[in-house]
Chain A
Amino acid sequence: MGQKRGRDVSGRSAVRSAREPVAWGAAAVGLLLLLWWLATAIPDLVPPRVLPSPIDVVLRFVALIAEPFSGATLLGHAVVSLERWGIGVLAAIALGLPLGIALAWLPPLRAVVTPGFELLRYIPPFAWVPIAVLWFGATTTTQAAIVFIAAFPACIINTQLAVAQVDPILARAARTLGAGSARTLAKVVLPVAAPTIFTGLRIAFSNGWMALVGAELVVGKQGLGFLISQGQINDSASTILVGMTTIGVLGTLIDAVLQRAQRLALPWRPAAARRFE
C-alpha cells in the first residue's frame, strides 16, 4: 500500500480508511487462532497428533530455535533455504533481465529464441529435479537450479513485455534530441518499463521460493522443506507447523522487502498506479 507516500491522500478519513482493513485482517487472524485453540482445548475433539495446540507449536518453535533438529536449528535450516533461493533467483535475474531486454529490443533474436523457450517453459520445475540430481548430485547447485528454472520465465517474459510495451513515441522523442540507442534504452525505456519488470521479479521471487521448498522435500539434508519432511518422519505435527509457518512468513517478508525497494526506486510513479499493488 502506498498511502503513506501518496501525495493525494490527506486528512484523517484517509488515514482511518487505510488502517481499517489492517484491523479487520488482524481480527480475522485472531479469530482463526482462537478457533484453533478451542479445537485443541476441548478434550477428545481433535487428537494432538493431528493438530497440536497453538501453545505446543509456539513451544516447539522456541525449542527448534534453541537446539538443532535434523542437523540444524530452525535458523540454520532457514539460512540454508534462503541461500539456495538467493543463488537461484540472482542467476534468474542476471540472465533473465538482459535477455528479456534483448528480446524486446532486437526482434530477430526473438524469432530465434521464442520457440525453444516456449517448449521448455511448459516443463514444470519439479520435472527437472531428477535430471538436476543426476547432473549436480544432492547439492546446493541442484536446489538453486530448481529455483532458477522456476524463477527465470517470469523474469524474462515480464522484462520483454515491459520493454516492448513502452510507447515508441518516447524513443522517437529521445532520437530527435540526439540520443543513441544505448542512451535511449537506459534513460528512457528502462525507467518506464521498470514497474512491469518489478512485477516480474515479484512473481519470480515467489515462484522460486515455492519451487525450492518442493525440491527440499525430495532432495537434500537441510533446509525448511527438509525440516517439514523430517517432522513427518518423526510424527511431529508441531514441527511441520513451525516449518510451514516459517516458510510462509519468510515468503511474505521477501515480497514486502521487494515492494519497499520498488517504491524507493521509482518515486515518480503516479499515485493511482501505486494504489493497485
Chain B
Amino acid sequence: MTPKMEIRAVSKTFHARGGEVAALQPCDLAIGNGEFVTVVGPSGCGKSTLMMIAAGLEAPSSGEILVDGKPAGPAGPRRTVVFQRFALFPSETVADNIAFGLRVAGLERAETERRVAEQLDLMGLTRFRGAYPHELSGGMQQRVAIARALAVRPEILLMDEPFGALDAQTRTVLQEEVSRLQRELHYTVLFITHSVEEAVYLSDRVVVMSKGPGRIKCEIAVPRDAPWRGLEIEEAGNHASFMQLKREIWELIRAEIVRH
C-alpha cells in the first residue's frame, strides 16, 4: 500500500557565512494513512527542519516529499501545521482564525459557519469564539491553532512541538485531548517533540533521530491496543509496558546526547 506521506532521501544543508552547515543527513520516513508518527531527538538534531520540509515551507537540499505517491508541491491545506508558537492571526477573532483556511478555499458561508462551529465544539472553544488571541491563555491559543489546522480537513496534520511552550498542567490536558481526538478521528499526523513520554502516549510509532546533522536512528512501534490506551497520562505512565517503551527510547536518545 502506498503510504499517505513519504519523506524520501530528504537532506538539508544551510549556507552560512564561512561555509556550509549540514542540518539533516538523508532521511527516509513513510507515514501510513491514519497513523500518528512522532519524531524525537536531542535538540539541534534537525527535527524541526525535517518538519518544515515536510510542510513545504522549506526546500530540501536533496530528496523529495510525496503525498499519495506523488510530489507534494508547495505548502498548502493538504498538509496543515500547528506551530510551537501558535502563530494565530492577532487581528482576527477565534472564529475568524478557524475560518481563515475555509475562506481561502472559497467555501460557502453556511458551510464555513458549520465547520467553524464543529471545530469550536470539538476543541471546547465555543465560549471564546469572539475573543482575540491575546485575550486567551497559551493553552487556549494552541487549541485555536489546532482547530484552525483541522478545519480545512487536511490529509496530514504536522505538529511542531505544539505543547513545548505550555505549562505542565495545560500540556497534560492537551495531550489527553489530542489522544482522544486521534482515537476517535484517526488523523494522519507527523508530530515533533522532545518529550519521550508525550511521544509514547500519543504515537503509533516513535522515530528517534541522532544528534546533528540529524538522521533517523531507529523506529519503535507502539501497539495501538496497549493496555494504557485511553487512560489519563499520569495513569498510563504507571503501566509496565509504557515505562518499558519510555526507558527504551530514552536510552537511545541519551546515547545521542553523550556521544561526542
Contacts and interface: CB of A to CB of B under 8 A. Distances in A.
Contacts of A172: 57, 75, 81, 83, 87
Contacts of A183: 104
Contacts of A174: 89, 100
A191 B90 CA distance: 8
A177 B91 contact: no
B91 A191 contact: yes
Contacts of A179: 100-101, 104
A175 B88 CA distance: 13
Interface string B56-94: 110000000000000000111101110101011111110
B90 A173 contact: no
Interface in B119-158: 132, 134-135, 148-149, 152
B258 to A, nearest CB: 33
B90 A176 contact: no
Contact of B81 (A173, A191, A270): A173
A266 B92 CA distance: 11
B105 interface: yes
Given A178-B76, A178-B152, A192-B90, A173 B134 contact: no
Given A169-B85, A169-B87, A170-B87, A176 B104 contact: no
Interface in A27-85: none
B57 A177 contact: no
A176 B55 contact: yes
A117 interface: no
Most buried by A among B57, B91, B149: B91
B89 A188 contact: yes
Nearest to B81: A176
Contact of A177 (B56, B100, B132): B100
User: Which of the four size classes fits the interface of chain B?
Assistant: 20 to 34
Contacts of B83: 169, 172-173
A170 B132 CA distance: 15
B146 to A, nearest CB: 12
Given A176-B80, A177-B80, A268 B90 contact: yes
B91 A176 contact: no
Contacts of B76: 175-176, 178
Contacts of B80: 176-177
Contacts of B92: 187, 191, 268
Contacts, number: 72
Interface in A188-219: 188, 191-192, 194
A3 B130 CA distance: 21
A270 B134 contact: yes
Interface string A265-277: 0101010000000
Contact of A173 (B74, B87, B135): B87
A177 B149 CA distance: 7
Contacts of A173: 81, 83, 87-89
A174 B56 CA distance: 13
Given A175-B75, A178-B101, A170 B89 contact: yes
Contacts of B105: 178
A266 B134 CA distance: 13
Contacts of A169: 83, 85, 87
Interface in B10-29: none
A74 B230 CA distance: 79
A177 B79 contact: no
A6 B38 CA distance: 43
Contacts of B132: 268
A72 B191 CA distance: 73
A183 B57 CA distance: 17
A80 B255 CA distance: 79
Nearest to B106: A178
Most buried by B among A7, A187, A192: A187
Contacts of B90: 191-192, 268
A156 B223 CA distance: 59
A253 to B, nearest CB: 28
Given A183-B104, A268-B132, A270-B134, A177 B152 contact: yes
A204 to B, nearest CB: 22
10 contacts: A169-B83, A169-B87, A173-B87, A173-B88, A175-B57, A175-B74, A179-B101, A191-B90, A192-B90, A266-B91
Going nearest first, the 3 A-B pairs with the smallest beta carbon separation are A191-B91, A177-B101, A173-B87
Interface of B: 55-57, 74-77, 79-81, 83, 85, 87-93, 100-101, 104-105, 132, 134-135, 148-149, 152
